[in-house]
Structure 1
C-alpha cells in the first residue's frame, strides 16, 4: 500500500563500573577500549526487537545491529561484542543523551524535534500510523472518532498523527504496544494507534486475528525508521550508515545473504509479511544518496 511513496560480549567487569560521562566524546575510541557496543533494544516491538522464550533479544533490528557489530570489528581489527540494554519508549532518547547506550535500532522514527538532541542513521525501514480495531467497527474516518476512546503511547509520532486526524477523540495513554493491544481485545478502547507494521505483528499473534482489522488502508502519517545515535559522533555514525546502506544495497541488487535477512522477518513465511519488492524500492531511494559499495566483487 506504500508502493507510490516508496517508488520515488567482552566482559565489562571494569568498564561497567565507570559513569557514563567518563566516555563522553568518541564512541569509536570507547569501543576500541572496551570491545563492547552498548545497544538499546525494546522487548515488545515484534518483529523489530523482542525477546524469545529464553529471554534473548531477537528481531530484524537485532540482526541489523549484528551487521554493525561486524563492520565495527573489521574496522577496529579486534573482537567486538554487543551488550544489550533494555529501553522503553519513554527513556530511549535519555539513554542516548545520558551516555548509557551507544545506539538503538528499534522502531524509532526520525523527527526534526528529536534531531535537536540525538542524531539518526540512514533510514532502514518505513511504516505509518494506523489503528487496530474490531473488524467492521467503522472507526476509519474522522467523524466517527469524535469522542472515541483510543489507546496510544504518549510522546510518540503516533500520538501526533492520531491527534491531528482525530482531535476530538479521547486518548488513553499506555506504556507499550502490548498494553494498547490488550485494551482493544478487552473492549476498553475502540482502537490502538501505532505503527502499522507493529500492529500487523500483534494481530498475527492471536488465533482470532480475523476479528480485527488495521485502518485506514493508507496511514494517517508515513514514518521513517532509523537508528538513534549520540550527537556529533561522525566516525561512529559513518560506521553505522555504511553497515545499513551495504545491507539495503544488497537487498536491492539481490545478494542472498541480505535478502534472506529481510525475508526471515518480512517474507511470505516471516513474522510479519511485507513485500520485499516494495521495501526494495524504498531502499533504492536511500542507497542512491550514498556512494555504492562493492559487495561480493560487484556493485
Structure 2
C-alpha cells in the first residue's frame, strides 16, 4: 500500500514538474507543429491596423506582419502557413498575448520599459508622438486655454498615462474623457462632449481624414510624448529573433519604401526621424 502511494505521488510530482515545460513551449515550435500563426490586429487604428470594406485586416503594421509570417513559414519550412487574424483592442491586447490567443500583436503599440518587463518587442516599426486634435477654429494657444474642459483619450494607451501626468503636473483642472477607441473619441469631439482629442499624431491625422464627416480639424503643433512602436509578443527569444530578422531585412533592402508610400504617402514625405529609425534598425545579418 505504501509502495503504491509512493508511486502515485511520484507520478503526480512528475506531472506537476512537467507542466511548466509544456506551458513554456516555444512559439515557433507550436507554429511548426500546427502550421498556424495567430496575429492580433486593431479594428480601427488606421493607417496601422484596421478593418477594410472587405472585412479583412489592413494597414501598415498588417503588411509588416504578413512579411514576418511569410519569412517564418520559410524558416520553419511550412508549405502552407495558416495565418489567423484575431481582433484585439487597446485594452485586451495584453491579455490576448498572455493567454495565447495571439502570437504577435500587429498594431501601433508603443514600447515602454514597463511593457518590456512583461512582453518582448520587435525592432522599432514606427516613431510617433502624441498631440491634440481640435475642431477647426478652436485651437487654443496653450493647454491653459482648455482649463476645466474635457480632453478625450483612449483607455489603455500610453497617451492616457501621459495625459494623466501632464494634467497633474500642470494643475490645469482638465477633465480626461476616457473612451474605448478612436471612433468614440472622434465622436466626442464632433458632438462637443470633448474640446480636444489626445492621441498619436499619425493616428489623429488619419482618423480625422477618414472619419471626419466633412468637418475640418486642427492639430496642435506641440508634441508631448515619444512613441516608438514595435510588434509585441510574449517573452520568447527565438520568436523575437525571427521577427527582427524579417524586419531588419525589409529595412536594409529598401523594400520598406513602397509599404511606407502606400500607407503614409498621402500624409507627405516621411519625416527625418522615421527615416533614421529605418536606417538604424536595418541590422546586418
8 Å CA contact 1:103–1:229 kept in 2: the answer is yes
User: Helix, strand or coil for the counterpart of 1:108?
Assistant: coil
Residue 176 of structure 2 aligns to a residue in which SS?
A: strand
Identify which range, 183-192 or 152-161, moves more after superposition: 152-161
Superimposed CA distance per residue, residues 236-278 of structure 1 (whole angstroms, 9 cap, x where no aligned partner): 1101011111112233xxxxx431121110114xxxx242363
* 2:84 alignment partner, SS class: strand
Q: More helix by proportion, 1 or 2? A: 2
Task: Provide closer, same or farther for how the CA distance between residues 240 and 92 of structure 1 changes in structure 2, counting only shifts above 3 A.
Answer: same
Superposition deviation, residue 203 in structure 1:
1.4
After superposition, residues 121-136 of structure 1 pair within 5 angstroms as 121-136=122-137
Contact 2:189–2:197 (8 Å) recurs in 1: yes
For residues 244 and 141 of structure 2, the distance between their equivalents in structure 1, rounded to whole angstroms, comes to 37
Contact 1:142 1:166 in 2 (8 A): no
Given the alignment, which residue of 257, 260, 266 partners 1:259?
257
Separation in 2, partners of 1:89, 1:258: 26
Cα offset, 1:140, TM superposition = 4.8
Q: What does residue 208 of structure 1 align with?
A: 214
Corresponding residue number in structure 1 for 2:104: 103
**Deviation string for 1:137-182 (max 9, x for gaps)?**
2335231232110111123210122223333210111000010011
| Uncovered stretches (5+) of structure 2, i.e. residues with no partner | 1-20
Instruction: Please tell me whether residue 46 in structure 1 is matched to residue 46 in structure 2.
Output: yes
Residue equivalent to 1:229? 233
Cα deviation 1:8-53 (Å, max 9, x = unaligned): xxxxxxxxxxxxx966421000000111110000100001111111
Q: Check conservation: 1:123, 1:224, Cα contact below 8 A.
A: yes
SS of corresponding position for 1:276? coil
- Distance (whole Å) between structure 2 residues aligned to residue 111 and residue 28 of structure 1: 25
Find the residue that maps to 1:221 and give its secondary structure. coil
- Superposed displacement of residue 113, structure 1: 1.1
Tell me if 1:199 matches 2:204.
yes
Structure 1 residue 285 and structure 2 residue 285: aligned? no
| SS of alignment partner, residue 138 of structure 1 | coil
1:120-142 deviations in whole A, cap 9, x for unaligned? 11111011111111123233523
Which residue of structure 2 lines up, in the alignment, with residue 149 of structure 1? 150
**Cα distance, 1:222 vs. partner?**
1.3
Cα distance in 1 for residues equivalent to 2:257 and 2:161: 33
- 1:249 equivalent in structure 2: 252
Deviates more, 1:133-142 or 1:235-244: 133-142
Q: Which residue of 1 aligns with 2:8?
A: none
Q: Are residue 190 (structure 1) and residue 188 (structure 2) matched? A: no
Using the TM superposition, give the Cα deviation of residue 77 of structure 1 relative to its aligned residue in structure 2, in angstroms. 1.1
SS in 1 for 2:242: helix
Q: Which residue is equivalent to 1:4?
A: none
CA RMSD of aligned residues (A): 1.8
2:75 maps to 75
Unaligned runs of 5+ in 1: 1-20, 252-256, 294-299
1:276 aligns with 2:277: no
Deviation string for 1:216-235 (max 9, x for gaps)?
x131111100011001x111
Q: Distance in 1 between matches of 2:222 and 2:278?
A: 20
1:192: how far off? 1.0
Does the CA-based 8 Å contact 2:47-2:59 persist in structure 1?
yes
Q: Residue 238 of structure 1: which of 217, 237, 241 is its match?
A: 241
Q: Quote the Cα distance in structure 1 between the aligned partners of 2:77 and 2:142.
A: 56
* TM-score (normalised: structure 2): 0.85
**1:7 match:** none
TM-score, scaled relative to structure 1? 0.81
